[in-house]
């Protein structure tokens, strides 16, 4: 390639500068950490200009201080001394006036205050100081300085021009990096906020990703921030207690107590004393004053589980607490005020109980302010696999095991079961399976016999025993092939049958063993 150029001595003026600028712009573009990457840039600038040293100073607008950010040819202590105020010395002036300055012979200049305490001459030769502002959109962010041996033949305007270009390139990269950093910080902050919002709404241990559960989580979040009485309804074992905890933990009462009372577990004679407390001598055996659960829950939440089981006389007293937020201890005359949020739960049909005269209608309306119906597990089977993983995890931790997964056939059995005991029953089934499981996989045969019945698996006996055995055999072979990734020899070992026997069955049940190779 032929280059037309103005000759300066043996060299073509402009070509070397272009090469330098190209090199600097490449380094700046590739720079990941400008602080570190400035040093080689300054080094190549020093080399190109046959200079002694070069450094970049940055102006901090908040404290109006100018500091050396990066340097080539200055020791660490010299760099550390390089601190300037706006208008102080040459650097302070360049930054203040946004104009370049050249001092041909620094040892003779009064302006050059030599804060770094570097040499003012080199081997008896005078040094020239060139300082240009780092300028972008008329804003000065710092200065670029170069110190070279004085040469009266060199036009300072050419140095200034070159350094100004380098300076604006550095300023542009610094601004870009700063903007990216600020953007990153903004995104981080946003992420932190979103994360804390997620954590806030996830402040519970309820597992479930079915649409029904997601709707319930939204309801929980809504009602949690209020003081409204909540009535949790649904069959036994569906996690009503977990929901009560979630509401409390997401409310502004979370730092106060959540007091739980199981109304059905207490004998009728004790329930009132349990709820409202008693004075000393209130009844035989009351040899001390005792605070009731409502008093203990002051400022927090009371969870009245099985509220449908409350005897009628207690229902009247409870009605008063709900209405007035006040009560008296048994045997006492002092009225105690309580600031408590009530969450009640029941698996009973309260409406039917009202019809039968077993439940007070006025109390029903008082507790039925915000009812939440939790559907039974059989109506949200999508949650089963996640719940199973959660419980395997739980029992792995509890029993110090390392069970990794559950086979498809076992999951299939869990998916078709009716789950009359809901999640509590599933939890128990998985706990048992984890105990039965001999390796790191839960198999269908680890599940309890109740799940293997025709009823639960929907496998009636219409076709007789043989098709059921064949179905089970097929599933066991599939499981073994999944575990061994389609390796028939290993699968036979797992099943404790010969390879020939396995081969015959694979053929009989038309199982494509190659499909299991991954
Ligand atoms: N969605 C769920 N995620 C995780 N664990 C759950 C879930 N639902 C229920 N459980 C677990 O199932 C068991 C029973 O739950 P819980 O005691 O809350 O049910 P309940 O509806 O209050 O039952 P009951 O009406 O018999 O008091 C608990 O061990 C609970 O941790």
Q: Shortest CA distance to 69 belongs to which of 15, 128, 4, 143?
A: 143
Query: Does residue 395 sit in the same domain as residue 410?
Result: yes
Which among 194, 250, 245 has a CA at the least distance from the CA of 222?
250
Q: Are residues 161 and 262 in the same domain?
A: no
* Structure-block tokens of residue 135: 């300028």
Structure tokens at 266: 């207490």
Assess whether the C-beta atom of 96 lies below 6 angstroms from ligand 1: no
Query: pLDDT at residue 466 above 80?
Result: no
Token code pair at residue 11: 């060299």
Q: What is the mean pLDDT of residues 26-31?
A: 85
Question: What average pLDDT does this structure show over 349-355?
Answer: 92
> Quick one: pLDDT at residue 435?
93
In a domain, 51, yes or no: yes
Ligand 1 pocket check: which of 209, 210, 236, 238 to mutate, most ligand atoms within 8 Å of Cβ? 238
- Mean pLDDT for 416-420 is 87
Return d(Cα 260, Cα 272) in angstroms, integer.
14
Is residue 300 scored above 70 in pLDDT?
yes
Distance of alpha carbon 119 from alpha carbon 136, whole angstroms: 32
Is a pLDDT exceeding 80 seen at residue 122? yes
C-alpha span between 68 and 73 (Å, rounded): 13
- The pTM is what? 0.55
Among 244, 238, 235, which Cα is nearest to 427's? 238
**Does 100 fall in a domain?**
yes
- Alpha carbon 46 to chain centroid distance? 48
Do 57 and 68 meet the contact criterion of CB atoms below 8 Å apart?
yes
pLDDT digits (tens, 9 = 90+) for 142-164: 999 999 999 888 778 888 888 99
Round to whole Å and give the CA distance between 235 and 244. Answer: 15
Structure tokens at 44: 């190549």
| Lookup result for tokens 């009359």 | 420
Are residues 267 and 360 part of one domain?
yes
- Which of 210, 239, 429 to mutate to test ligand 1, by most ligand atoms within 8 A of the CB atom? 239
What is d(CA 221, CA 486) in angstroms, rounded to the nearest whole number? 47
Same domain membership, residue 433 and residue 321: no
**Ligand 1 neighbour 49 (Cβ under 6 A):** no
Q: What are phi and psi of 452, to 5 degrees?
A: -90, 0
* CA distances to 132, 443, 478 from 84, in Å: 15, 74, 77
> Over 279-336, what HEC string results?
CCCCCCCCCCCEECHHHHCCCCEEEEECHHHCCHHHHHHHHHHHHHCEEECECCCCEE
Asked if residue 204 has its Cβ within 6 Å of ligand 1, the reply is no
Locate tokens 């190209």: which residue? 22
CB 53 within 8 A of CB 73: yes
Confidence of residue 100 (pLDDT cuts 50, 70, 90): very high
Domain end among 347, 375, 403:
375
| Separation of alpha carbons 303 and 367, rounded Å | 12
Find the CATH number of the domain harbouring 500.
Answer: 1.10.10
> Is there a single domain that holds both residue 386 and residue 399?
yes
Mean of the per-residue pLDDT values of the chain: 86
Measure 230 CA to ligand 1 centroid, in angstroms.
Answer: 17
Residue with CA at minimum distance from ligand 1 atom 9: 239
- What count of Cα atoms within 13 Å lies in the side-chain half-sphere of residue 301? 28
Domain of 227, CATH number, reads 3.40.50.300
Q: Residues 25, 120: one domain?
A: yes
* 77 falls within a domain: yes
Measured CA to CA, the distance from residue 504 to residue 275 in angstroms comes to 69
Enclosing domain of residue 34: 6-180
Closest CA to 481 of 505, 511, 453, 516: 516
Whether the pLDDT of residue 456 is over 50: the answer is no
Query: 131 forms bridges with which residues in the sheet?
Result: 101, 145
- The CATH number of residue 446's host domain is 1.10.8.60
Query: What's the 236 CA to ligand 1 centre distance in angstroms?
Result: 8
491 class by beta-carbon count within 10 Å (0-12 exposed, 13-18 middle, 19+ buried) = buried
In the chain, the number of structural domains is 4
Task: Give the residue among 423, 428, 467, 473 at the shortest CA–CA distance from 448.
Answer: 428
Average pLDDT over residues 357-379: 93
Q: What is the mean pLDDT of residues 185-200?
A: 70
Task: Tell me whether residue 198 is in a domain.
Answer: no
Q: Is residue 205 part of a domain?
A: no
Give me the residues paired with residue 277 across strands: 291
Which of 149-163, 319-333, 503-517 shows the lowest per-residue confidence on average (mean pLDDT)?
A: 503-517
371 C-alpha vs ligand 1 centroid, how far in Å? 18
Residue 280 binned pLDDT confidence (cut-offs 50, 70, 90): confident
Residue having the nearest C-alpha atom to atom 29 of ligand 1: 424
Nearest partner of 377 among 324, 338, 429, judged by Cα: 429
At 171, which CATH number? 3.30.450.40
Cβ contact 317:276 at 8 Å: yes
Nearest protein CA to atom 16 of ligand 1, as residue: 239
Question: Between the CA of residue 43 and those of 27, 68, 294, what are the distances in Å?
Answer: 12, 15, 76
Q: Do 13 and 149 belong to one domain?
A: yes
Quick one: pLDDT at residue 1? Answer: 36
**Ligand 1, closest atom to CA 347?**
25
* Mean pLDDT value of segment 408-433: 92
DSSP 8-state code for residue 417? S
Domain boundary among 328, 349, 375: 375
- Do 107 and 157 lie in one domain? The reply is yes
Q: Which atom of ligand 1 is nearest to the CA of 242?
A: 18
Instruction: Please indicate, yes or no, whether residues 49 and 170 belong to a single structural domain of this protein.
Output: yes
Q: Is 185 domain-assigned?
A: no
In a domain? residue 367: yes
Residues 75 and 148 in one domain: yes
Instruction: Report the distance separating Cα 446 and Cα 476, nearest Å.
Output: 12
Which residues, in sequence order, are bridge partners of residue 128? Answer: 148
Residues 252 and 305 in one domain: yes
Residue 417 burial (C-beta neighbours within 10 Å; 0-12, 13-18, 19+) = buried
State whether 451 and 481 are in the same domain: no
Domain limit, last residue, from 157, 180, 203:
180
Characterize the bridge pairing of strands 405-406 and 441-442.
parallel
DSSP class of residue 160 equals H
207 CB near ligand 1 (under 6 Å): yes
- pLDDT the model gives residue 3: 44
CA–CA dist 412, 444 (Å, integer): 9
Query: Residue 190 falls within a domain, yes or no?
Result: no
What are the C-alpha distances in Å from 134 to residues 70, 131, 145? 14, 10, 10
**From the CB of 88, is ligand 1 less than 6 Å away?**
no
Ligand 1 centre to CA of 212 (Å) is 16
The number of beta carbons lying within 10 Å of the beta carbon of residue 328 is 16
Q: In this model, does residue 477 exceed pLDDT 70?
A: yes
Kindly report the three-state secondary structure assignment for every residue of 426-479: HHHHHHHHHHHCCCCEECHHHCCHHHHCHHHHCCCCCCCHHHHHHHHHHHHHHH
Residue-level pLDDT at 2: 45
Tell me if 504 sits within 8 A of 518, measured CB to CB: no
Measuring from atom 12 of ligand 1, which residue has the nearest CA?
Answer: 424
Judged against a pLDDT cut of 80, whether residue 285 lies above it is answered with no
Percent above pLDDT 70 for the chain? 91
Cβ pair 452, 489 in contact under 8 A: no
Q: Are 15 and 31 in contact (CB under 8 A)?
A: no
């Amino acid at each position: 390639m032929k280059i037309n150029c103005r000759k300066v001595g043996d060299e073509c003026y402009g070509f070397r500068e272009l090469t330098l600028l190209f090199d600097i712009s490449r380094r700046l573009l590739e720079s990941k950490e400008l602080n570190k990457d400035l040093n080689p840039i300054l080094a190549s600038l020093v080399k190109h200009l046959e200079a002694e040293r070069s450094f970049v100073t940055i102006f901090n607008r908040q404290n109006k201080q100018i500091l050396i950010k990066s340097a080539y040819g200055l020791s660490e202590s010299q760099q550390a001394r390089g601190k300037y105020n706006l208008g102080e010395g040459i650097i302070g002036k360049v930054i203040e006036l946004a104009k370049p300055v050249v001092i041909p012979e620094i040892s003779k200049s009064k302006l050059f205050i030599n804060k770094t305490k570097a040499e003012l001459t080199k081997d008896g030769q005078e040094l020239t100081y060139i300082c240009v502002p780092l300028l972008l959109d008329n804003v000065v962010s710092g200065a670029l300085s170069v110190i070279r041996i004085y040469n009266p033949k060199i036009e300072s305007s050419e140095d200034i021009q070159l350094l100004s270009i380098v300076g604006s390139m550095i300023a542009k990269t610094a601004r870009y990096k700063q903007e990216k950093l600020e953007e990153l910080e903004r995104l981080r902050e946003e992420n932190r906020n979103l994360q804390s919002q997620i954590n806030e709404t996830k402040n519970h241990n309820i597992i479930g990703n079915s649409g029904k559960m997601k709707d319930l989580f939204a309801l929980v979040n809504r009602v949690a921030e209020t003081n409204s009485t909540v009535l949790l309804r649904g069959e036994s074992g569906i996690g009503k207690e977990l929901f009560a905890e979630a509401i409390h933990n997401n409310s502004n009462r979370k730092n106060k107590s959540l007091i739980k009372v199981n109304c059905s577990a207490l004998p009728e004679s004790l329930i009132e004393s349990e709820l409202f407390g008693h004075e000393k001598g209130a009844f035989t055996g009351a040899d001390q004053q005792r605070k009731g659960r409502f008093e203990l829950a002051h400022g927090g939440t009371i969870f009245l589980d099985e509220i449908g089981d409350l005897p009628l006389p207690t229902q009247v007293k409870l009605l008063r607490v709900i209405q007035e937020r006040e009560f008296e201890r048994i045997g006492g005359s002092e009225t105690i005020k309580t600031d408590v949020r009530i969450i009640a739960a029941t698996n009973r049909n309260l409406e039917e109980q009202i019809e039968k005269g077993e439940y007070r209608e006025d109390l029903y309306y008082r507790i039925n302010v915000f009812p939440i119906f939790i559907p039974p597990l059989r109506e949200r089977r999508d949650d089963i696999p996640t719940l199973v993983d959660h419980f395997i995890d739980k029992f792995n931790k509890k029993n110090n095991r390392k069970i990794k997964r559950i086979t498809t056939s076992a999951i299939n059995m869990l998916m078709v079961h009716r789950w009359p005991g809901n999640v509590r029953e599933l939890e128990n089934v998985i706990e048992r399976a984890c105990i039965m499981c001999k390796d790191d996989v839960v198999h269908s045969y680890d599940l309890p016999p109740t799940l293997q019945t025709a009823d639960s698996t929907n496998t009636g006996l219409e076709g007789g025993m043989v098709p059921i055995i064949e179905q089970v055999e097929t599933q066991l072979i599939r499981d073994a092939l999944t575990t061994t990734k389609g390796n028939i020899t290993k699968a036979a070992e797992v099943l404790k049958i010969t390879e020939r026997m396995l081969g015959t069955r694979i053929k009989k049940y038309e199982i494509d063993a190659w499909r299991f190779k991954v």
